[in-house]
């Protein structure tokens, strides 16, 4: 019973880790698209794209730290 629990736990941790990395890479791609494509549209309104979002990795890691 203990080995099954460990295997399931490791599998869940791997899936969560993969999802976090995927979200992070997607966020980087969105930032790159903003810089290359969208900034040309908003030349007259530079403040529109100034807002920065927090890194999803940091948010999720903070949540895990608070749980344990």
pLDDT tens digits in sequence order for the chain, 68 residues long: 689 999 999 999 999 999 988 888 888 888 887 777 766 665 666 555 555 666 777 777 787 787 76
Give me the DSSP letters along the chain.
-HHHHHHHHHHHHHHHHHHHHHHHHHHHHHHHHIIIIIHHHTSS-GGGG---PPPHHHHHHHHHHHH-
Domain tally, the chain: 1
Residue 9 vs residues 16, 28, 37, 47: alpha-carbon distances, Å: 11, 29, 42, 45
pLDDT for res 40: 61
Q: Answer yes or no: are the C-beta atoms of 39 and 45 closer than 8 Å.
A: no
pTM for the structure as a whole:
0.49
pLDDT for res 10: 94
For residue 28, the enclosing domain spans 2-67
pLDDT for res 62: 80
């Amino acid at each position: 019973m203990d080995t099954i629990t460990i295997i399931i736990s490791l599998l869940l941790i791997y899936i969560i880790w993969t999802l976090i990395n995927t979200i992070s890479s997607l966020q980087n791609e969105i930032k790159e698209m903003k810089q290359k494509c969208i900034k040309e549209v908003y030349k007259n309104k530079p403040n529109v794209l100034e807002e920065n979002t927090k890194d999803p990795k940091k948010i999720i890691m903070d949540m895990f730290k608070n749980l344990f």
